[in-house]
Structure 1
Amino acid sequence: MTNYSSSDVWITGAGVSSAVGQGKEAFAEALFRGDHAFGIMRRPGRQKDTQFIGAELAPLAPGSRISRRLWRGASLTAQAALVTLLEAWEEAGLDNMDPARIGLIIGGSNVQQREQLLTYASYADRPLYTKPTYGLTFMDSDLCGLCTEQFQIRGFAYTMGGASASGQAAVIAGAEAIRSGQADVVVAIGALMDLSYLECQAFSSLGAMGSERYAGDPASASRPFDRQRDGFIYGEACGAIVLERAEHAASRGQQPLARVAGWGISADGNRNPNPSAEGEARAVNQALASSGVNARAIDYINMHGTGSIIGDEIELQVIRDSGLENACLNATKSITGHGLSAAGNVELVATLLQMKASRLHPTRNLQDPIDAGLRWVAGQAIGHEVQHALNLSMGFGGMNTAVILQRI
């Protein structure tokens, strides 16, 4: 039996939905091949005399376990949450758990903007006929209602927002809830943020979202840490992580995917979108201190890596200043696009899959790194047995998170 302490938090299940693969098996294959699904986005409400580049999910299917009644009334964000949670739930074997000892945290706020825009357009000339259920579904908390009803979760359930750090912040909150004894199991979801053309335009006008430079070549648009980057490229995604008290998991014979060794979370005290090296470094140093892992023992880092002109430079400064330059580095967003509220959660799933396979996925389009002296995984996947992995996730409003996973 795996050794553990009473304070250990294990990951016992994971699920993922992304444009390059639905479910962990397809997702892992796409990661190691360096696939992509970038193109001009086609969903209704995504374009208005525009040609925004992104990566959109293939149609989702509920399978036999998800209620058809719940599915019919669910938005794209809600449907992604249901199927992604189901995969994690089944891997963790939670069907026979005490539902009062399971908690749910959904990372993300304002995650159904496109759905709301379409609703406004449908009822603009007949507001008296607005569906009564809209009074429920426009709220992010409706995702909690759907998931708790489908899976009969009876512990706590809430949403939390930290912009693009939301999905990872939910994992941190879940780990802390387990350590404090609030639950034996917590499911942390990084919700699919469903952008409309309004958010896409605003991000583009901010200079955060690309890509006019690659308008005719969408496959080349997402290029974190490359000198030719010009902003993030959106990608629909959802992730789910099952966190469990180690003693509880061991008592029912559930093997861990990894140990959550430590974490850090910090704010910059700055409303603006520009990143802070000091704030990011504080989150990293908190994670290292809480894990007891020396910086030189971190052998793999899943970078936040959005393709931001300023953000990528700041992130690499933090890596160097924190003594992490010996770790192998890659950027999952080069393959999936930026899932915003889902990103940090999806990238934890990507890290778990790489740890399991003892392989690291390539970073697409990394042809001219802004710091060629670091240990990039660039053109193709490489073999690497990860012992200690660091995941970084940052969001607008100065939100910084860092999570360290340990092989067991």
Structure 2
Amino acid sequence: MKNQNQSELLITGVGITSAIGQGKAAFTPALMQGQHAFRVMQRPGRQKDTSFIGAEIPSLSYPERFSKRVLRTASFSGQVAMVTLQEAWDEANLAAVDPSRIGLVIGGSNLQQRDLIQTYENYKDRAHLVRPTYGISFMDSDLCGLCTEQFGIRGFAYTVGGASASGQVAILQAIQAVQTGQVDICIAMGALMDLTYWECQALRSLGAMGTDRYADEPAMACRPFDKNRDGFIYGESCGAVVIERADFAMSRQIKPYAILSGWAVAMDGNRNPNPSYEGEVQVIRRALKQGNLSPQEIDYINPHGTGSTIGDEIEIKAIQDCQLSHAYINATKSITGHGLSAAGTVEIIATLIQMKESRLHPTRNLEDPINSSFNWVRGQSVPHDIKHALSLSMGFGGINTAICLQNAK
């Protein structure tokens, strides 16, 4: 590990749960091989005379520390949050840290929709029998309660909403908390947004989620940056990263994944779901400037890349006009699906894994790129030693975020 500036901010632990694997040991080879789990979704509450395609987590493995009572009363989003945090917690050796100096920021809002609609349907004719824990669990803050109780976190914990940029917004808030000394360590989590058929239908009607065009070929449906893209495809996922200063990590002899070198957020001043070229250009330039980086120094980009018919075109134009088209680029969502609130954190983790592996994952279904002049990673993984990476996230309501990562090797 190179000598670290003691005030540098590092990522020292990660946790990942997705449809292609729970934990880095399962997620990493699946990512590099371009494995997928796309099919017509089966989870209760996801369909009502519909056939929405998505990628669902096949099963969860629970650490023994979580009691059956806690798991029984937690929503699916809560269960996934706890198991994901466990991996990041252990890797960063947070058990050795004063719990009053640890904070938690959970990215996402309206996270537990499927749990809510199932409660409504199960108790619609007997509301007086609804379980008392519903008075807690219907709020997103219940994820904070679950995690702080199970892990003994005593600093602070709160949720932040940024639509599909929520995962990166959580990281930006965690950075600020460590920078200002609120805590010594802050965990940023992009939580699992548990959709129902209501949200799926509304997102499809907006023109954001894919249609039934690939109903008979679910594996072909998710195709960011391809000319035949048809909208985003949902993918269950959750990611957590541990952020701290270099001196604090060195005191515990923790080897970091990467240095957080630049970051930014920019608003479009627009309530609607349509993306903004100006907003995306602005956030990229701000992040590079804050990190004292030239465009030429960025050698890998992990884009928002949803498969949106409009969004992909605008993002590629923004990247090109920021003089970044030389950098390698792939689309993590082509493999994992779009985790919505989790996406920004999951894609930072995918970037960190590629840094560690010195290898870039493929982009599934990128058969006819919308701009062939880019340095795409297409059907096969390729070796590459990332030095400086740029990760982008955008959310409904005009939210644009960007984070630059420097390899800590």
Tell me the TM-score normalised to structure 1 length: 0.99
After TM superposition, give the deviation of residue 255 of structure 1 in Å: 1.1
- 1:126 paired residue number: 126
Paired residue type of 1:276: S
- After TM superposition, the structure 1 = structure 2 runs for residues 33-182 of structure 1, keeping only pairs within 5 Å, are 33-182=33-182
- Secondary structure of the residue aligned to 1:309 is coil
After TM superposition, give the deviation of residue 61 of structure 1 in Å: 2.2
Contact 1:211 1:233 in 2 (8 A): no
Paired residue type of 2:173: A
Distance 1:67-1:246 versus aligned 2 partners, 3 A rule? farther
Structure 1 unaligned segments of length 5 or more: list them: none
After TM superposition, give the deviation of residue 294 of structure 1 in Å: 1.0
After TM superposition, give the deviation of residue 65 of structure 1 in Å: 2.5
Matched, 1:345 2:317: no
- For residues 133-186 of structure 1, give each alpha carbon's deviation from its aligned partner in whole angstroms, at most 9, with x where no partner exists: 111100000000000000000001000000000011101110111111111100
Paired residue type of 2:260: V
- 1:294 paired residue number: 294
- For residues 30-54 of structure 1, give each alpha carbon's deviation from its aligned partner in whole angstroms, at most 9, with x where no partner exists: 1111111000000110000000000
In structure 2, how many angstroms separate the alpha carbons of the residues matched to 1:54 and 1:159? 25
Paired residue type of 1:351: T
- Secondary structure of the residue aligned to 1:402 is strand
- For residues 207-259 of structure 1, give each alpha carbon's deviation from its aligned partner in whole angstroms, at most 9, with x where no partner exists: 11003211100000000000000100000000000001111111121111111
- Secondary structure of the residue aligned to 2:95 is coil
In structure 2, how many angstroms separate the alpha carbons of the residues matched to 1:2 and 1:365? 38
Contact 1:15 1:85 in 2 (8 A): yes
- 1:359 paired residue number: 359
- Secondary structure of the residue aligned to 2:17 is strand
Paired residue type of 1:8: E
In structure 2, how many angstroms separate the alpha carbons of the residues matched to 1:23 and 1:344? 17
After TM superposition, give the deviation of residue 3 of structure 1 in Å: 2.1
In structure 2, how many angstroms separate the alpha carbons of the residues matched to 1:68 and 1:93? 25
After TM superposition, give the deviation of residue 25 of structure 1 in Å: 1.5
Paired residue type of 2:21: G
Contact 1:165 1:401 in 2 (8 A): yes
Paired residue type of 1:113: Q
- 1:390 paired residue number: 390
- Secondary structure of the residue aligned to 1:210 is coil
Contact 1:269 1:398 in 2 (8 A): yes
- Secondary structure of the residue aligned to 1:181 is coil
Contact 1:144 1:158 in 2 (8 A): yes
After TM superposition, give the deviation of residue 2 of structure 1 in Å: 3.7
In structure 1, how many angstroms separate the alpha carbons of the residues matched to 2:91 and 2:65? 14
After TM superposition, give the deviation of residue 369 of structure 1 in Å: 0.1
- 2:185 paired residue number: 185
In structure 2, how many angstroms separate the alpha carbons of the residues matched to 1:28 and 1:237? 14
In structure 2, how many angstroms separate the alpha carbons of the residues matched to 1:2 and 1:299? 19
Structure 2 unaligned segments of length 5 or more: list them: none
> Percent of aligned pairs with the same residue?
61
- For residues 39-82 of structure 1, give each alpha carbon's deviation from its aligned partner in whole angstroms, at most 9, with x where no partner exists: 00001100000000000001112122323332221111001100
In structure 2, how many angstroms separate the alpha carbons of the residues matched to 1:155 and 1:63? 24
- 2:257 paired residue number: 257
Paired residue type of 1:263: W
- 2:267 paired residue number: 267
Paired residue type of 1:66: F
- Secondary structure of the residue aligned to 1:227 is coil
- 2:13 paired residue number: 13
- Secondary structure of the residue aligned to 2:70 is helix
In structure 1, how many angstroms separate the alpha carbons of the residues matched to 2:27 and 2:211? 25
Paired residue type of 1:103: G
- Secondary structure of the residue aligned to 2:203 is helix
Contact 1:299 1:327 in 2 (8 A): yes
| More displaced stretch, 278-287 vs 215-224 | 278-287
- For residues 315-352 of structure 1, give each alpha carbon's deviation from its aligned partner in whole angstroms, at most 9, with x where no partner exists: 00110111111100000000000000000000011001
After TM superposition, give the deviation of residue 5 of structure 1 in Å: 2.5
After TM superposition, give the deviation of residue 94 of structure 1 in Å: 0.7
In structure 2, how many angstroms separate the alpha carbons of the residues matched to 1:394 and 1:231? 15
Q: How many pairs align?
A: 408
After TM superposition, give the deviation of residue 279 of structure 1 in Å: 0.7
In structure 1, how many angstroms separate the alpha carbons of the residues matched to 2:242 and 2:405? 14
Matched, 1:242 2:237: no
- Secondary structure of the residue aligned to 1:144 is helix
- Secondary structure of the residue aligned to 1:28 is helix
In structure 1, how many angstroms separate the alpha carbons of the residues matched to 2:65 and 2:134? 25
In structure 2, how many angstroms separate the alpha carbons of the residues matched to 1:121 and 1:395? 30
- 2:216 paired residue number: 216
In structure 2, how many angstroms separate the alpha carbons of the residues matched to 1:243 and 1:182? 13
- Secondary structure of the residue aligned to 1:390 is strand
- Secondary structure of the residue aligned to 1:153 is coil
Contact 1:67 1:150 in 2 (8 A): no
Paired residue type of 2:319: I
